Structure 1
Amino acid sequence: MNKNNSLALLIISLGLFFAFYVNNAVDKTWLEQSYLYDTYHTESGEDAYKYKGKEVIITDIVPYHQSPLKQENLNLSIDSSINKLSQEPLLTQQWVKNDEQQLILLKPAFHFGLWSLLPAFITIALCLLTREPLTSLFAGIVVGAIMLGKYDLTDAVIIPNLAKESTAGLLLLYLWLLGGLLGIWSKTGAAQAFANYMTEHFVKGPRSAKLISWLLGLLFFQGGTMSTVLVGTTVRPLADKAKVSHEEMSYIVDSTASPIALVIAFNAWPAYVQALIFVPGVAFLATEADRLNFFFNSIPFSFYGIIAVIGTLLLCLNITTFSGKRIRQAQQRALKTGQLDAPGARPLSAKELQACDVPSGYNSHVLEFILPLVTLIAIAVSTFIFLGSPKINWAFGAALLLSAGIALIKGMSLTDIVDGFGNGLKGVVLASVILMLAVIIGSISKEIGGGLYLVSLLGEQLPFWLLPLLLQLITMVIAFSTGTSWGTYAIAFPLAMPLAWAVCQSQGLANPELFMMVCFATVLNGSVFGDQCSPISDTTILSAMTTGCDLMDHVKSQLVPAIYAATLAGCLWTLTVYFFA
């Protein structure tokens, strides 16, 4: 057994020991969590709100001060002399009406103090040590499950998480639809035909291939997994043909996915975030329209998103001053040897998707790639415009059926199409399992309350100019530990925005709205940094998968330029509030 394996075994053993200790000896710290929805009155006079397009009637509303889920009441309900199980709140949620007559949904949440970071620490440490994300994620899940007392791992943890609509949707999209589409493109030679066409007409070398990738990243500004998958699958064949290293490509795809969504925010982000940033008594956050306006006014302060996109452009222009040693080495390796992966790399994209297997007599055409891709983009964009959210499953499903239909019309046998589809599934099955485990550990990390603990460390006695930097650092750690930016928003915003306003009031700032905008931007951007750099993030995994990169090579190579961008952004936020707030 080598040294790394011995150390990994020691980490796992200690993790399991401490997980049992936490479950049996560490008390939970309960915190009030409040959520503001866009409520309205129905024709019959009942209070209601919309959830996933359906009307939900609100019942059993109580005054805020009477709710057992109010922070003061949660504190009073805890008696250290009684058994921990009796400290659990009797309610999982409750609608209340505050002094401003606004309806707010209260939910209790808890953390175990510093121990709440244990599953994320175990997972990330093992990822960095062993370069094996599958076992690392599983180890983190086991540790988290034991901390929660869920010893039946299959029935209490894995199956309930797989049964969630969001998890099933991820597996449907990234295993069946994405994998099937890539497999058919490989079987028909469509991806290779597209690469040949782009190389002949537009791509003259690695630089132009990277520039096209960057421009596509800006074009698909919806952010997150949608942008990652669209850009990654589109540019992979032409970038491979132009001999661009997989580390460079995965960084370009990942660094233009979520950061650009902060800068060109005509997407689903503002509608989601605005519901989390209500602060009682703050006039410019009073209504949904006010909060949306606040979001867009704060875009110039999204320094990390702006710097990350500019830094990626510099790499595309072969200016690698801020790219870090690993990316420079990858670039030189690809130029001198033609090797797109580092020695010993284990790309997430399997060999089934790395070579064409076109049946004899079948003539590939570039339109077999372009027509499904245009259909995919058109459906995603049009459904976002008309329905309010992009229907990605519809888009990929239509592209898959169109690709198969074109192949059938051109004479390819159904057997060959099914064979290509099957090869596509095999090509992404490992990445899909990793993605599934990442979703599960993100859910466990949220339930254990690691993010809540980090935010609760802050106090109102901080110097005002230090608060944006601390919010940035804490959200970076939360998102890195949980692998999700949107999940971090749900944790951080309801705590960070009232804290920022309290600092404004207590320290008498002359420009409180600007200070609030900067604090808002630090949470928004810090969460994107952590999500982008985390080895358990879906966008990180998908960036590596769609570009054919080794996951840990991608994580380690993009960490340096991302840290450069985050450091510069932190300095700009601090200077902004110090001189102008």
Structure 2
Amino acid sequence: MEVGFWAIVPPLLTIVLAIATKEVLLSLFIGVYTGCLIIVGGHPLGGFEKMIEIIIAKLTDPWNMQVLIIVILLGGMIGLLTRSGGSTAFGNLLGRRITTKKGAQGTTWLIGLLIFFDDYFNALTNGAIMRPISDKFGVSREKLSYIIDSTAVGICLVVPLSSWVAFICSLIADSYASAGVDQDAFQAFLLCIPFNFYAWLSIIMVIIVVYLGLDYGPMAKAEKRTMLTGALCDKTFSGGGADDDDFSSIEQKNGTALDLLAPILLLICCALIFMLYTGGFFESFNVLDAVNNMDGMLALTYAVSIAVIFAIIFYAVRRLSKVGDSIAAFVVGTKSMLFVVILLAFAWSIGGVGDELDTAGYVASLFVGNVPPFLVAVIIFIFSCIMTFSTGATWGTYAIMIPLAVPLAIAMDINVYACIAAVIGGGGFGNHCSPLADTAILSSAAANIRHTDHIKTQIPYSVTCACVACVGFLISGFVDHWILPMLVVLILFLATVFVLNRLFGAGKYRTEDQVDSASESQE
């Protein structure tokens, strides 16, 4: 369906309303309904019927169903871990070794890097482990959600063993086949990794702002609020007070760190094993083929299910929780994910509206034209950023842009790896800071912070990484290797962050403003 400019109205309206009103769910509802009105030609009742049709279609999509199952099961597992007392015990254990606020943030970053195989699992698991510890050391929830989001997405873009790799490699393989290029898709992905400037910067930036104290913009204001008032956030993910706790009524105090680590380590091991299994590794014993063919969502469904069953039996054997009490705790955990499920349903629906209006195709069509070869990678990156930010669909952007980027790079005889990396990094940018992106939603939920507060504080950091990454892609238009562009990018990035901290750091915000803001929030 071709409607021209109207194709970008629903996502843009949703984003503007979400940022202006801080009511993401209402904004998504309005955006989806507006898009449906455009589809049916302005008929109000027809628009509502179309909206219901799209929501049902998205909820019953096999891939989305697996995501929802994983989210619900992980929520239930968080309830089980809390019931066992393992979360508190592990927090106390780390608390004896983590003695500073910087240490708490650095540990969150490290855990995010270690859980490299899936962004959803990364965000929810990291939040479950580190939220109590970061709260103890006075880390603002905005900062926690930023660290979780940056590492969860960033590491999936540069580690060649994740649920993202199979999808990206399949697109590369198809694009290479169409262009007549004889090269292994996985090998091509490996060669793209050094050119993924945005992903590397998003990971590195966490360490820079944490250990050098270089926060700026809304994040600096949030950190100063927490330091001066003790308020970890203004609102929780579901819109409640800053001190709301869904799990306080089910926790018992006899658990140990083992009661947290055993189910999580089993979950991680099972996830890796089932990823190889779904990729056919135990038939061919070829790791590359297994990675290219694996079904990440199915593997995680298997892994989480096994971990949940193990946790229930394990806690019963250890006499920490009766089976009935564990099931009750599991239900409490699943309830905590209800708002996440609703948000994901509407986020997917705005993507469904975009599919019918051909939003991605319209945005991509703006790119087509005569441009100098050295600007191609930069323009691809910028359009990928805009497309993902406006739709929230990272993999949708990849599906549109990689088949465009590969033949374009080959035809213009420019660095094809830099162009593919530009698409991958641009998708990462949108996944970090779009109010419609599912990983951003899950990161907000993991930190238990209002989603718009996470987006507001994340955007300046993501934009900084994106702007500096543009310089790297520009230089890669003149040189074939990645070393010089990366060196320039790193030096420029450090200088930029220092300058932004001096101009927009915590010193810009008055103490009175922080106290007044906290008082208004409590009222």
Q: 2:262 aligns with which of 358, 371, 379?
A: 371
- Distance in 2 between the 1:292 and 1:579 partners? 23
Structure 2 residue 6 is the aligned partner of structure 1 residue 120: no
Residue type of the partner of 2:263?
Answer: P
- Distance in 2 between the 1:127 and 1:206 partners? 31
Q: Quote how far apart the aligned CAs of 1:367 are.
A: 1.5
- Distance in 1 between the 2:223 and 2:133 partners? 16
Range 396-405 or range 347-356, more displaced? 347-356
CA gap of 1:316–1:383, structure 2 versus 1, over 3 A, is: farther
- In the other structure, the counterpart of 2:494 is none
Greater relative contact order, per chain length (Cα 8 Å cut-off, separation 6+): 2
- In the other structure, the counterpart of 2:131 is 236
- In the other structure, the counterpart of 2:366 is 457
CA gap of 1:153–1:189, structure 2 versus 1, over 3 A, is: farther
Contact 1:460/1:503 (CA < 8 Å) preserved in 2? no
User: How many residues end up aligned between the 2 structures?
Assistant: 452
- Distance in 2 between the 1:327 and 1:236 partners? 17
- Distance in 2 between the 1:273 and 1:315 partners? 30
**Which residues in structure 2 correspond to 1:5-84 (within 5 Å)?**
28=1
SS of residue matched to 1:286: coil
Range 219-228 or range 480-489, more displaced? 219-228
CA gap of 1:490–1:411, structure 2 versus 1, over 3 A, is: closer
SS of residue matched to 1:358: coil
Structure 2 residue 53 is the aligned partner of structure 1 residue 156: yes
Structure 2 residue 145 is the aligned partner of structure 1 residue 259: no
- Distance in 1 between the 2:320 and 2:427 partners? 49
Structure 2 residue 418 is the aligned partner of structure 1 residue 521: no
**Which residues in structure 2 correspond to 1:15-414 (within 5 Å)?**
28=1, 111-149=2-40, 151=47, 152-153=49-50, 155-175=52-72, 177-200=73-96, 202-277=97-172, 278-279=175-176, 282=179, 285-287=181-183, 289=184, 291-320=185-214, 323-342=215-234, 345-348=235-238, 351-353=244-246, 355=248, 357-358=250-251, 363-388=254-279, 389=294, 390=296, 391-409=299-317, 410=319, 412-414=321-323
CA gap of 1:500–1:188, structure 2 versus 1, over 3 A, is: same
Residue type of the partner of 2:186?
Answer: L
TM-score, normalization by structure 1: 0.73
Q: Quote how far apart the aligned CAs of 1:567 are.
A: 0.5
Q: Quote how far apart the aligned CAs of 1:436 are.
A: 1.6
Identity among equivalent positions (%) equals 28
Residue type of the partner of 1:469?
Answer: V
Q: Quote how far apart the aligned CAs of 1:479 are.
A: 0.7
Contact 1:245/1:334 (CA < 8 Å) preserved in 2? yes
Q: Unaligned regions of 5+ residues in structure 1, if any?
A: 1-27, 29-110, 505-511
Contact 1:352/1:424 (CA < 8 Å) preserved in 2? no
Q: Quote how far apart the aligned CAs of 1:529 are.
A: 0.4
Contact 2:254/2:320 (CA < 8 Å) preserved in 1? no
- In the other structure, the counterpart of 1:566 is 466
Q: Unaligned regions of 5+ residues in structure 2, if any?
A: 41-45, 280-293, 482-523
TM-score, normalization by structure 2: 0.81
Q: Quote how far apart the aligned CAs of 1:579 are.
A: 4.7
Q: 2:353 aligns with which of 444, 462, 468?
A: 444
Structure 2 residue 388 is the aligned partner of structure 1 residue 479: yes
Post-superposition Cα deviations, 1:193-246, rounded to whole Å, max 9, x if no partner, equal 21111101x211211111111111111122432322232222222222222111
Post-superposition Cα deviations, 1:515-556, rounded to whole Å, max 9, x if no partner, equal 222111111111110121111111000001011121111101
Contact 1:349/1:545 (CA < 8 Å) preserved in 2? no
Query: Counting helix residues as a fraction of each chain, which structure ranks higher?
Result: 2
Contact 1:189/1:356 (CA < 8 Å) preserved in 2? no
- Distance in 2 between the 1:253 and 1:400 partners? 23
Calculate the aligned-residue CA RMSD, in Å: 2.2
Range 235-244 or range 547-556, more displaced? 235-244
Q: Quote how far apart the aligned CAs of 1:349 are.
A: 8.7
Query: Counting strand residues as a fraction of each chain, which structure ranks higher?
Result: 1
SS of residue matched to 2:337: helix
- Distance in 2 between the 1:143 and 1:519 partners? 34
CA gap of 1:263–1:412, structure 2 versus 1, over 3 A, is: closer
Compare CA radii of gyration and give the structure with the larger one.
1
Post-superposition Cα deviations, 1:155-201, rounded to whole Å, max 9, x if no partner, equal 522222221112222222212x122112222333221121111101x
